[in-house]
């Protein structure tokens, strides 16, 4: 995941891992395909290959050994429709009961040829919705990547009609009606059960507002040459998916046989207030799970005994507090200052009374994670000019609302999260983690990582506090091993979501409160390492 060096296909990663990471835009895919065709690959040959792979996957999902399936094929005017027609032909030959629907009067030449051949095989073809046969599942080949205009009139009505059937739908490449890059719904869109993305991951499939339309997304790798990908994307792709392999590679494991606690990192957490004691506890429990060698937690004096009872192994630092129970000032142990720590995480449960504390840690030379009230205070101080003065690494972990307070002049993060987080990182020099169903992380060089898996179970108060502690603990350990900051942030986001997924599987989504989440962190990483 390093941005400093190119991905070396022949030595550092196998092909499958590389392909699973790369995320592209519609324009980039168009350019890559253009190189393939210019090199002599016939469009018809590539269509046959892609459709053959799709057919094989459909046979795995809906095997005739278990049932006789009736399949409806939705065909668009372009090559996505051509892919669908080849799939229709192959399924027909394999014994599936197939019918085809295409409402378009004009098809691309190759697609029209496949339409004509399907009719010659006796496959029923329809141009209107009236009297369409029933089916067990649908294959969506209406529109592929690159759609930009809103769908209206008859085609929009047809898509809504098929969604209302409530049959499983397999979309080829991207659900018809989604913008390839932003994931925006262009008027209406197919609600897919499965999306079989072709060749390389399309950015829109990893945007939050596309997720209810994408279903389970899988990549169909049709052997795009590396030279063509690298010619368009360069040595270092600018947008990547976080994968299991890359996330695990950045964990500070294994430890050397001879070591001690301070070689495993020393983290300072500054969090909590009398009003929000839980934030301090959850952040500290997240840090504990990271495996950090030494954990110090600065809280108001009135919370010290509570924290000690939950984390007897940690050094709990009771600080003078305001009348309302916020930290008044840091009061670190004798012979200790902020430079004594490898990393600092600050914010959960602080309240905005802690502004002097946040200002103090921002002025330090330590790697710093800011979350919750740490972010709200930073926004009041002036996000960009304040962070531009920092010499050490900074990680910001906002949700969408906090992001807008931090960066009011950046385009709406709800519309295009990738561009928003990239702009924020470029303007501040910080690593910015924008929370969401598909968490996006950017560094100042414009490289973006997207966490491709999560669960709605994490949409509960305190989940973000756990992430802050986990991330802080990993960064403290990374400081002793000189691991890139961006890699550690991506690993923390992945680990946090995997714990949520595991907890939801065992307890249901409603059963994953933040305390439960902390109890699954170690189980999640242990299972993934097996």
Binding annotation: 79-83, 140, 144-150, 173, 176, 349, 399, 435-439, 464-465
Helix or strand run (H / E) with residue 495: helix 485-507
- Please say whether the beta carbons of 153 and 177 come within 8 A: no
Provide CB contacts within 8 A for 164, sequence distance 6+.
Answer: none
Rounded CA-CA distance 419/440 in Å is: 10
Give me 122's structure tokens: 């006796």
Residue 195's DSSP bridge partners are 171, 217
Q: How many CA atoms lie within 13 A of 154 on its CB side?
A: 10
Rounded CA-CA distance 209/103 in Å is: 28
- Please say whether the beta carbons of 81 and 171 come within 8 A: no
Residue with tokens 């942030």: 489
Rounded CA-CA distance 304/317 in Å is: 7
Residue with tokens 């002599």: 40
DSSP 118-170: HHHTT-EEESSSTTPPP-SEEEEES--TT--SPP-HHHHHHHHHHHHHT--EE
DSSP 425-465: HHHHSSEEEE-STT-EEE-TTS-EEE-----GGG-STTHHH
- Residues placed in the known binding site for K(+): 80, 140, 176
Residue with tokens 């924008």: 434
Residue 396's DSSP bridge partners are 370, 432
- Residues placed in the known binding site for AMP: 435-439, 464
Burial class of residue 179 in the structure, from the number of CB atoms within 10 Å of its CB (0-12 exposed, 13-18 middle, 19+ buried) = buried
- Residues placed in the known binding site for (6S)-NADPHX: 79-83, 144-150, 173, 349, 399, 465
Helix or strand run (H / E) with residue 519: helix 514-529
Radius of gyration of the chain (CA): 26
Rounded CA-CA distance 200/182 in Å is: 16
Rounded CA-CA distance 385/50 in Å is: 50
Determine phi and psi for 258, rounding to 5 degrees. -115, 115
Burial class of residue 308 in the structure, from the number of CB atoms within 10 Å of its CB (0-12 exposed, 13-18 middle, 19+ buried) = middle
Rounded CA-CA distance 398/404 in Å is: 9
- Please say whether the beta carbons of 421 and 489 come within 8 A: no
Rounded CA-CA distance 514/459 in Å is: 10
């Amino acid at each position: 995941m390093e941005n400093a060096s190119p991905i070396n296909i022949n030595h550092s990663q196998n092909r499958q891992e590389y392909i699973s990471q790369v995320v592209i835009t519609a324009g980039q895919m168009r350019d890559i395909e253009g190189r393939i065709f210019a090199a002599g690959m016939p469009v018809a040959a590539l269509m046959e290959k892609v459709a053959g792979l799709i057919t094989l996957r459909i046979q795995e999902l809906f095997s005739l050994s278990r049932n006789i399936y009736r399949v409806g094929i939705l065909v668009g005017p372009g090559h996505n429709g051509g892919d669908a027609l080849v799939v229709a032909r192959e399924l027909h030959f394999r014994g599936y009961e197939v019918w085809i629907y295409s409402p378009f009067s004009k098809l691309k030449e190759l697609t029209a040829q496949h339409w004509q051949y399907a009719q010659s095989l006796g496959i029923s073809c329809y141009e209107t919705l009236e009297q369409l046969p029933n089916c067990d599942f649908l294959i969506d080949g209406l529109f592929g990547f690159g759609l930009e205009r809103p769908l209206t009139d008859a085609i929009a009505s047809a898509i809504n009609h098929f969604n209302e059937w409530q049959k499983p739908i397999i979309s080829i490449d991207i659900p018809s009606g989604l913008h390839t890059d932003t994931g925006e719904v262009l008027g209406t869109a197919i609600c897919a059960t499965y999306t079989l993305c072709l060749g390389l991951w399309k950015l829109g499939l990893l945007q939050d507002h596309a997720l209810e339309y994408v279903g389970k997304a899988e990549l169909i790798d049709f052997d795009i040459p590396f030279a063509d990908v690298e010619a368009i994307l360069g040595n270092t792709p600018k947008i990547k998916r976080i994968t299991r392999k890359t996330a695990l590679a950045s964990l500070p494991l294994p430890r050397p046989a001879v070591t001690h606690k301070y070689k495993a990192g020393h983290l300072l957490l500054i969090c909590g207030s009398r009003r929000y004691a839980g934030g301090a506890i959850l952040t500290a429990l997240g840090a504990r799970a990271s495996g950090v060698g030494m954990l110090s937690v600065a809280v108001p004096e009135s919370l010290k005994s509570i924290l000690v009872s939950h984390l007897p192994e940690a050094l709990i630092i009771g600080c003078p507090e305001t009348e309302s129970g916020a930290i008044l000032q840091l009061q670190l142990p004798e012979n200790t200052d902020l430079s004594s720590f490898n990393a600092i995480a600050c914010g959960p449960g602080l309240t905005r009374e802690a502004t002097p504390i946040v200002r103090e840690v921002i002025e330090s030379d330590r790697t710093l994670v800011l979350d919750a009230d740490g972010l709200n205070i930073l926004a009041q101080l002036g996000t960009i000019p304040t962070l531009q003065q920092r010499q050490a690494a900074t990680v910001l972990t906002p949700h969408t609302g906090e992001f807008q307070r931090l960066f009011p002049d950046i385009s709406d993060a709800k519309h295009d999260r990738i561009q928003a987080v990239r702009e924020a990182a470029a303007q501040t020099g910080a690593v910015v983690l924008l929370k969401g169903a598909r968490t996006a992380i950017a560094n100042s060089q414009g490289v973006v990582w997207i966490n491709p898996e999560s669960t709605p179970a994490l949409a509960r108060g305190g989940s973000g506090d756990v992430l802050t502690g986990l991330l802080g603990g990993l960064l403290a350990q990374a400081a002793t091993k000189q691991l890139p900051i961006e890699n550690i942030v991506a690993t923390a986001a992945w680990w946090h979501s995997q714990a949520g997924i595991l907890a939801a599987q065992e307890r249901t989504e409603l059963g994953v409160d933040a305390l439960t989440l902390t109890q699954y962190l170690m189980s999640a990483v242990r299972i993934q390492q097996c």
